[in-house]
Structure 1
Amino acid sequence: MDTDTADRSSEPDAPAQVVLGLVPAGPHRIKVRAAQQDDPTSPVVVLVPAMGVPARYYRPFVADLHRQGLTVVTFDLRGQGESTPVASRRVRYGYQSLIDDLDAVLDLVESVLPQAPRFLLGHSLGGQVSLLHAARHQGRVQGVALVASGSVWYRSFPGFGRVRTLVGTQLVAAAATLLGYWPGHRFGFGGRQAASLVQDWARQARTSVYRLNGSATDYEEALREVRLPLLTVTVAGDGLAPRSSVDHLVAKAPHALRTTKHYTRADAGADDLGHFHWVRHGGELSRWVRDWIATAHVRS
């Protein structure tokens, strides 16, 4: 493991992140980094990013979590950040590929830090991937935290959000199918994504059901068997993951041991939060994660 000195945040107290290794993922090679604690038994939080968001965006929150005594593992989803090649007509992947990649990341973490309890923390799409992974690979982690992460089923949104979500997701999927990929970097939404991934996303938005391209797993049934500790955090000003959509996602895992929190501007000490900006103001949220892990670890 080499210390990647170029991967420090601009914040002066940001922890150094070591490169744990490279995970093969189809044509991709995913670089896995960790802001480690000296104690090899410290809990590990594997942070799974939102759609189109590079891992480096989370550096302020990584620092917050590290200050709480947690080892934090980060990586880019396929086609994002350092994980090249980008999506194209020839480079295809969907939700199932991301779930498999996360399992490979956990293999690496377990090999390097075998004594550490492991937790997933997913943001937006990353939360869906984390929960689906926990459903398919039960027993691999001790708990899952969902931050600003909910179902995209259009009926789980209030008011006009239903129409906007249904129309928006289906138009994106239609464009991705026609072009062979979604050029989100040109439209300011979701980043450049593979057609199969966008189709999985849009299908769940339309039907509420997780039926993934290229997968024989019955994820709806698997989710009903999840009994892990589950932390769900909604964020003030977040129109992309309102409480109703988070509740719909979590209802798919009725036996999960849920802890529910709402992150307000007062909690964060910030004037603006929303679906993404909370990352820059995550000090109090990181304390919630630490306290939940302490309780979840006792349960497990």
Structure 2
Amino acid sequence: MGNNLSDTVTSTDLAISSRGGGQICGTVRVLSDADPRALVVIHPATAVPERLYSGFSDYLAEQGFAVVTYDYRGTGRSGTPKGNRTVRMRDWMDQDVPDVADWAAAQFPGLPRLAVGHSVGAHALALGSGVAGLEGVVSIASHAGVTATVRGMAERAKVWLILSAAGPLASKVLGYMPGSKLGLGEDFPAEAMLEWSRWSKLPGYFFDDPTMRAAERAASVTVPLLSVGFSDDPWATPQQIEAITEHLVAADVERRTYSPADFGVPAIGHMGFFRRGLREGLWPEAVEWLDARLETDKR
């Protein structure tokens, strides 16, 4: 189903059959009157609905990119959290992310391909999921989510309560994580919550889970990556962002940390990059970096 978002951008709904069962639903955006010059897939954060990415996706489409956004299974439009209760966080990373990347590549054959990952979406890319054929990756606020490293005593206590107590208990009782009621975004599958809870207690996050082979996988990634963080993000601190990027030993990694004052806004935090207030300030910097990857590919 297609509909005009504006005079220049058209959207089309997508539905992909997942290799793990169920469907992944999302949206494709393109210019209404011109062929796209490159493809960007936006891989979302945990418990974050696709609609958060709509403004940035419209902006990318206006710059000539074909843009794909979606919800992980058990979130948003991609099935109920209870109906997908056994979907783990690693399943989002190792199944949903490459499923969408492969589908998008098939829909736009011949186009240069890029990706933007937000939080866990960038975790997947850092572990090599969905990176085949990419010219570059922009990683937004992606960090090793260890509760003990959260900045600020009050925020750290809140995160501990949700990830180590209320969230796991509610997930076991209800069969899903009621994120909307516990102040953690949208509802999502129980097993994703329980796996997140386990990783949040490990000093090295999923790098300390031997079943993930995370260090080995990250070391094999060669795609250029721009890692973006924000000075007022209590979760994705520079140290915890580095706890991910330090494992990308074969990739060209550029690190940038911005502050709200850089763009005259009161806050950015963990979610703010994708809010429309940064359209004229921060978004062009991301597009400039993506464009530079395309120019590199031509040389």
Q: TM class by shorter-chain length?
A: 0.7 to 0.9
Contact 1:200–1:212 (CA under 8 A) maintained in structure 2: no
Q: Deviations over 1:30-72 (max 9, x none)?
A: 2232211466562211112222221112212112222333222
1:296 corresponds to which of 289, 293, 296: 293
* Identical pairs, percent: 24
1:24 and 2:17 correspond? yes
Q: Deviations over 1:249-283 (max 9, x none)?
A: 21122332111222332443423322223322232
1:95 corresponds to which of 89, 92, 95: 89
Distance 1:22 1:173 in 2: 29
Change (3 A) 1:60 1:138: closer
Change (3 A) 1:218 1:39: farther
Contact 2:119–2:143 (CA under 8 A) maintained in structure 1: yes
Could you tell which deviates more after superposition, 184-193 or 170-179? 170-179
The aligned counterpart of 2:116 is 121
1:210 and 2:206 correspond? yes
Q: Deviations over 1:92-144 (max 9, x none)?
A: 20123212112111121111111112222112222223323xx2455342222
**Please, what TM-score do these two structures have when normalized by structure 1?**
0.83
Measured on the aligned residues, the alpha-carbon RMSD in Å equals 2.9
Change (3 A) 1:176 1:227: farther
Change (3 A) 1:256 1:167: farther
Change (3 A) 1:230 1:218: same
1:145 and 2:128 correspond? no
Distance 2:182 2:147 in 1: 21
1:3 and 2:2 correspond? yes
Distance 2:149 2:248 in 1: 16
Q: CA deviation at 1:155?
A: 4.8
Structure 1 unmatched runs, 5+: none
Structure 2 unmatched runs, 5+: none
SS at match of 1:210: helix
The aligned counterpart of 1:75 is 70
User: What is the total number of aligned residue pairs between the two structures?
Assistant: 289
Q: Deviations over 1:225-268 (max 9, x none)?
A: 22211111112422122222211121122332111222332443
Change (3 A) 1:136 1:54: closer
The aligned counterpart of 1:174 is 168
Distance 2:58 2:88 in 1: 30
SS at match of 1:122: strand
**Please, what TM-score do these two structures have when normalized by structure 2?**
0.83
